[in-house]
Amino acid sequence: MSSHKDEVITFKAEASLAKAIRNLPNRSAFIRAAILSALDHACPLCQGTGIMTPEQKRHWDAFSKTHQIDHCGECDAVYLVCSSKGTN
C-alpha cells in the first residue's frame, strides 16, 4: 500500500472565476492541468514572478552584451538571439 497522500491546496478567486470553475465537470483536474501548464511555461529566469532580483539583473546585463531580444515576424514571438561568435 502506498503512503502517498494528496495535499489539499486552496486559493482565493474573484466571483467570476469561481463561477466559471464551478461549471467545470472536473474542477480539480482542470486546475491541476492549468497549474502544471503555467509552471511549464514560466520564465526560467524570474520563475514566473515577472521581476528579476538584483543578482539576476546583474547576470542578465552580462548575458545581454552578447545576446539580443528579437521579434519573429511569422509567429509574433519574442526570442533571444546569440550574437557572440557570429552564431544565431
Buried b or exposed e, range 42-80, using 16+ CB within 10 angstroms: eeeeeeeeeeeeeeeeeeeeeeeeeeeeeeeeeeeeeee
User: How far apart are alpha carbons 79 and 60 in whole angstroms?
Assistant: 14
Q: Is residue 48 predicted with pLDDT exceeding 60?
A: yes
Q: What is the number of structural domains in the chain?
A: 1
Is 7 domain-assigned?
A: no
Would you state the pLDDT for residue 73? 94
Give the single-character DSSP code of 87: -
Residue span of the structural domain in which 33 resides? 15-86
Is 79 domain-assigned?
A: yes
User: How far apart are alpha carbons 39 and 24 in whole angstroms?
Assistant: 21
Is 4 domain-assigned?
A: no
Would you state the pLDDT for residue 46? 83
